[in-house]
Chain A
Amino acid sequence: GAVVSQHPSRVICKSGTSVKIECRSLDFQATTMFWYRQFPKQSLMLMATSNEGSKATYEQGVEKDKFLINHASLTLSTLTVTSAHPEDSSFYICSASDDSYEQYFGPGTRLTVT
């Protein structure tokens, strides 16, 4: 149980375009979802926290107009990177939590902006 999927696993996009990443909890209802980014040989940095039906809470230094987060249902959250630039290239990981405070991580999405 407690499986989280992400789609796509890899994406390459051109500078200036937008890209959407999906995060789904497959066998439980996720009241809270988290989005992280991870640079090579660095740890996971929390970008934002979202609760179903509410606006996301962004961490300091994360541009909410650039990283749009939607948590439309108890099983789906999306992260849209708008007007992507090469410096946005990173490994994006989502996690989902039910009411137990445990976090279950997805497999990650590798974004490359050319």
Chain B
Amino acid sequence: EDQVTQSPEALRLQEGESSSLNCSYTVSGLRGLFWYRQDPGKGPEFLFTLYSAGEEKEKERLKATLTKKESFLHITAPKPEDSATYLCAVQAYTGANSKLTFGKGITLSVRP
């Protein structure tokens, strides 16, 4: 069974204080690892898809990296508007449907 574990559960940062969010996974044949941002009361907003170990993607203050066992979401010089819950999900090469298995998420709070 595919599993995704995210840590820490919650993270409080001062504005400008860089940090990393961790996503550990086990999956029977990884097709892709996804990062989403979710604001309270909203649906997930797509951030990145990573497909193979060693791959990196960047978007503004966010950078996602992938190894064979885990992924990191690095946040550089965060701002209060980066406060949200960050979800990690994996997709396996099983069948025709693109089922995602999600972690519990990491709630990030950035203080001004």
Interface of B is mostly: strand
Known contacts A32-B97, A101-B31; is-contact A43 B43 (Cβ 8 Å) = no
| Residues B102 and A43 in contact, CB atoms below 8 Å apart | yes
B22 at the interface (CB under 8 A from A): no
| Residues A49 and B43 in contact, CB atoms below 8 Å apart | no
CB A68 to nearest CB in B, in angstroms, measures 19
A64 at the interface (CB under 8 A from B): no
Complex CA gap A109/B59 in Å reads 28
| Residues A46 and B46 in contact, CB atoms below 8 Å apart | no
| Residues B49 and A103 in contact, CB atoms below 8 Å apart | no
Residues from chain B with Cβ under 8 Å of A108 in the complex: 41-43
Q: How many residues of chain A are within 8 Å of chain B by beta carbon?
A: 25
CB B102 to nearest CB in A, in angstroms, measures 4
Contact partner, B44, options A32, A101, A105, Cβ 8 Å: A105
Residues from chain A with Cβ under 8 Å of B46 in the complex: 102, 104-105
Complex CA gap A26/B4 in Å reads 31
Complex CA gap A51/B89 in Å reads 21
Complex CA gap A67/B106 in Å reads 29
CB A14 to nearest CB in B, in angstroms, measures 23
| Residues A43 and B104 in contact, CB atoms below 8 Å apart | yes
| Residues B43 and A107 in contact, CB atoms below 8 Å apart | yes
Could you give, for residues 49-66 of chain A, a 1 whenever the CB lies within 8 Å of some chain B CB and a 0 otherwise? Answer: 101000001000000000
Complex CA gap A43/B32 in Å reads 18
